[in-house]
């Protein structure tokens, strides 16, 4: 049978008061730092008996860090994948002294005691409860069959049945952790390695014995070494006088038994023609892979015996180059029955199907894993499909920020990206002011997406499902005003809608930035593009706005954008302007603002959605 995880319930554990996470299928969980990724991984480890991979439990593992004697934290893992969904075929799991059958519905993702539709999947729930003992100052845990959510206290219930450890091994849950004890991974000091070797009947017994015998009677005997010989003889003489039996001093490598020999083995790697080096001296990439490869071997051995193998990868992007990240994931997908991955890398996220990606949304005390695609890929709306599939990396990147900014279109997104890079100080500008030393607000806190086909409303709706703070950015023209009306009227509107100065589009923004140092910037542009310089910043803006095939039209010419941005970056004054404006956007986006000279609240503001104009020139406050 192939066990699969279906669902994970977490209650009162660390930062989570209550959460139910859908883990059916291969899942990539994406969330920014602090979202709860390691909480989920640790919860899974605790549920399936892998306590050694989790730090020792203390008060801090209880939500609020101050558990009373009555407080409990609870982790409930729902597993399915039983052949034919027939409890009778799995007496190890479903009988009086084991679990009670339950049914999980793949559409509603809910669990009930009876099966009402043929799609229902037979499942069982394993619970892990913990309490803090105030006399011993220790955390006591109990792993049991979670028959019902109505169990009051698993520590004080006569009908609680423990889950026997061999059954947990049936689940076959393994983890490639973020913190890896790298050197030990491929040595006999690692239990995993030892079990892998034993499991594959690969134990090098005869080699070890031969090696051991050699170590007992080595060719080189240190006690006979010219320098040590005198001392050895004097020791032996003295001992002969004090003790019967004539003990003779010898020095041998290891304790000359198989166990110490095995423990003394240190993994080495020889690369190309270089001498072999111990694992601890290898690069972090190799070390990271060492553990992974051994886990794959464990998986292979299990699957060969018809047992299940579920591999969780905790941030596999650590210490590994982007190309390799994707390969690790796809390698796991082919070799495991189920993959669970936590990550903040767009590369890793790209290695999963859109349906399998879940975004972790954390609110105080709560955690949700929201699927990137709200419905399956065939029926999803066009915008949603394009964002989830074609622009997934950018969307994931944006979701990692505090605020997600939805501009009118891809061009806006591209310009914002370039300007943000400039304001980060990407270009070295002479005479940079001390302000540049502060962290740039926009790049740090605001993420943007390339809104496809100018579908700003669809884009907002898509992101509102996935992120708690979504803000739209529209042009200062009447079209922009139109978007404002539409967005503020939504039942669930974005947190704010930002608008540029009256009649301004992003191109006007670029022009204004360039005009801080007009002639130098325009010269710089000309040098890079190889075209004659524009007569004025205004002319540059015109060219930027022209989308037709006329000569000099620059709209949509991303290469030209880069040249212009580079030219701007060279100018300290222009860079400063870029930064000042983007910081204003960031402040407005992060909200709430009051008395900000560069942000003006507009009359279309509603209690749910603030409409703010970002001004390039400060107003009087």
Partner 1 sequence: MSLALFEGPAGSGKTTQLVAEVKRILAASPLIPGQRVLALTKMHGSRRRMDAKLDLEIRPAKADCQTIDGFALHLNRRWRDLAESTSSTRLPDELDFKGQSELAGQLLALDVVATWVARTYPIVVVDELQDSKDGQIRILEGLSRATRCVCAADEFQDLTGDAGSNASAWARGRCTPVILTGSHRTTVNGILDAADALRSSPPGSLVVAKGFRMSAVASAAQAGAYLSWEITSARSEGCTSAVVLTPTSKEKSAFVRDAVEWVRTKTATSSKGSSTSGPFKIEWESGAHSEVEELVALLKLTADAETQVNVRELEVAARSVGAGDVAAGLQRRRTLTGSETIGSAEGYRLVDRALSMRRSFGVTRSSRLSAMTVHQAKNREFDAVVVLWPRKIRKDPEMQRRLLYNAITRARRRVLVLLEDSKRERIIAPPFVAP
- What is the contact surface with partner 1 in residues (CB under 8 A)? 68-70, 87-88, 91-92, 94-98, 100-102, 112-114, 131, 133-135, 147-150, 153, 155-159, 161
| Torsion, Cα of 307, 313, 317, 320 (10° steps) | -40
Residue among 68 and 485 whose Cβ is closer to partner 1: 68
Residue among 115 and 250 whose Cβ is closer to partner 1: 115
In Å, what is the CA distance from 257 to each residue of 198, 263, 264? Answer: 19, 10, 11
Q: Residues for the chain: how many in total?
A: 621
CB of 147 to partner 1, least distance (A): 5
Q: Which residues pair with residue 162 across a beta bridge?
A: 144
CB of 96 to partner 1, least distance (A): 4
CB of 350 to partner 1, least distance (A): 41
CB of 113 to partner 1, least distance (A): 4
Question: In 10 A of CB 414, how many CB atoms?
Answer: 19
CB of 304 to partner 1, least distance (A): 24
Residue among 115 and 256 whose Cβ is closer to partner 1: 115
Burial class (CB in 10 A: 0-12, 13-18, 19+), 233: middle
Burial class (CB in 10 A: 0-12, 13-18, 19+), 68: exposed
User: How do 121-133 and 102-104 pair as beta strands?
Assistant: antiparallel
Q: Find out whether 405 and 447 touch, Cβ atoms under 8 Å.
A: yes
CB of 101 to partner 1, least distance (A): 7
Residue among 148 and 382 whose Cβ is closer to partner 1: 148
Residue among 91 and 530 whose Cβ is closer to partner 1: 91
Burial class (CB in 10 A: 0-12, 13-18, 19+), 542: middle
Q: Find out whether 175 and 315 touch, Cβ atoms under 8 Å.
A: no
Six token digits for residue 424: 């980060």
In Å, what is the CA distance from 279 to each residue of 181, 187, 260, 507? Answer: 11, 10, 19, 54
Label residues 471-483 b or e (16+ Cβ within 10 Å = b): bbbbbbbeebbeb
Q: Find out whether 583 and 596 touch, Cβ atoms under 8 Å.
A: no
In Å, what is the CA distance from 573 to each residue of 417, 442, 464, 508, 519? Answer: 19, 18, 37, 17, 12
Rounded Cα distance, 197 and 313, in Å? 22
CB of 73 to partner 1, least distance (A): 15
CB of 225 to partner 1, least distance (A): 59
**What one-character DSSP code corresponds to residue 201?**
T
User: How do 365-371 and 357-363 pair as beta strands?
Assistant: antiparallel
Rounded Cα distance, 63 and 405, in Å? 32
Residue among 88 and 118 whose Cβ is closer to partner 1: 88
**What one-character DSSP code corresponds to residue 85?**
G
CB of 131 to partner 1, least distance (A): 7
Residue among 158 and 272 whose Cβ is closer to partner 1: 158
CB of 293 to partner 1, least distance (A): 36
Residue among 101 and 511 whose Cβ is closer to partner 1: 101
Residue among 148 and 260 whose Cβ is closer to partner 1: 148
Residue among 110 and 304 whose Cβ is closer to partner 1: 110
Residue among 69 and 306 whose Cβ is closer to partner 1: 69
CB of 26 to partner 1, least distance (A): 29
Place of tokens 């006999």: 188
């Amino acid at each position: 049978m192939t066990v699969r995880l279906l669902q994970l319930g977490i209650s009162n554990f660390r930062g989570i008061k209550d959460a139910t996470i859908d883990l059916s299928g291969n899942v990539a969980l994406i969330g920014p730092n602090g979202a709860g990724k390691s909480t989920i991984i640790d919860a899974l480890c605790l549920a399936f008996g892998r306590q050694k991979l989790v730090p020792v439990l203390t008060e801090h593992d209880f939500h609020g860090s101050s558990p009373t004697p009555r407080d409990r934290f609870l982790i409930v893992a729902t597993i399915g994948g039983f052949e034919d969904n027939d409890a009778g075929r799995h007496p190890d799991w479903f009988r009086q002294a084991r679990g009670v059958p339950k049914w999980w519905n793949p559409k509603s993702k809910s669990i009930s005691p009876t099966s009402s539709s043929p799609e229902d999947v037979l499942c069982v729930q394993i619970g892990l409860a913990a309490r803090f003992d105030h006399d011993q100052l220790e955390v006591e845990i109990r792993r049991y069959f979670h028959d019902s959510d109505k169990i009051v206290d698993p520590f004080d219930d006569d009908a609680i049945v423990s889950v026997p450890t061999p059954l947990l091994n049936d689940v076959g849950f393994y983890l490639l952790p973020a913190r890896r004890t790298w050197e030990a991974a491929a040595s006999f000091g690692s239990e995993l390695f030892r079990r892998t070797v034993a499991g594959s009947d690969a134990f090098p017994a005869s080699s070890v014995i031969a090696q051991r015998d050699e170590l007992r009677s080595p060719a080189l005997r240190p006690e006979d070494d010219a320098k040590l010989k005198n001392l050895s003889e004097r020791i032996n003489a003295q001992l002969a006088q004090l003790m019967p039996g004539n003990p003779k001093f010898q020095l041998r490598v290891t304790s000359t038994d198989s166990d110490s020999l095995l423990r003394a083995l240190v993994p080495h790697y020889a690369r190309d023609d270089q001498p072999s080096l111990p694992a601890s001296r290898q690069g972090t990439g190799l070390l990271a892979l060492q553990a992974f490869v051994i886990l794959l071997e464990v998986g292979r051995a299990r699957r060969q015996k018809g047992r299940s193998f579920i591999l969780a990868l905790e941030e596999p992007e650590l210490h590994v180059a982007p190309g390799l990240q994707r390969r690790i994931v796809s390698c796991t997908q082919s070799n495991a029955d189920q993959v669970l991955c936590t990550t903040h890398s767009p590369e890793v996220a790209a290695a999963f199907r859109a349906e399998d990606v879940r975004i972790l949304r954390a609110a105080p005390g709560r955690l949700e894993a929201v699927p990137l695609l709200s419905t399956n890929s065939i029926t999803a709306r066009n915008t949603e499909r394009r964002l989830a599939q074609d622009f997934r990396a950018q969307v994931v990147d944006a979701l990692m920020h505090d605020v997600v900014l939805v501009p009118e279109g891809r061009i806006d997104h591209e310009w914002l990206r370039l300007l943000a890079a400039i304001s980060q100080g990407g270009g070295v500008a002479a005479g940079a002011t001390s302000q540049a030393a502060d962290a740039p607000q926009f790049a740090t806190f605001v993420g943007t997406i390339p809104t496809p086909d100018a579908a700003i409303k669809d884009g907002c709706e898509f992101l509102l499902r996935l992120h708690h703070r979504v803000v739209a950015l529209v042009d200062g023209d009447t079209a922009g005003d139109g978007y404002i009306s539409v967005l503020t009227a939504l039942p669930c509107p974005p947190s704010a809608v930002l608008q540029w100065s009256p009649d301004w589009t992003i191109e006007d923004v670029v022009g204004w930035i360039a005009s801080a140092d007009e002639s130098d910037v325009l010269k710089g542009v000309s040098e890079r593009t190889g075209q004659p310089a524009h007569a004025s910043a205004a002319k540059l803006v015109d060219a930027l706005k022209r989308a037709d095939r006329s000569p000099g039209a620059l709209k949509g010419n991303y290469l030209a954008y880069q040249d212009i941005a580079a030219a701007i970056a060279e100018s300290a004054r222009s860079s400063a302007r870029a930064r000042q404006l983007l910081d204003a956007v960031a402040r407005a986006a992060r909200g709430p603002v009051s008395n900000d000279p560069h942000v003006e609240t507009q009359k279309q503001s509603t209690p749910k959605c603030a409409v703010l104009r970002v001004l390039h020139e400060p107003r009087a406050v």
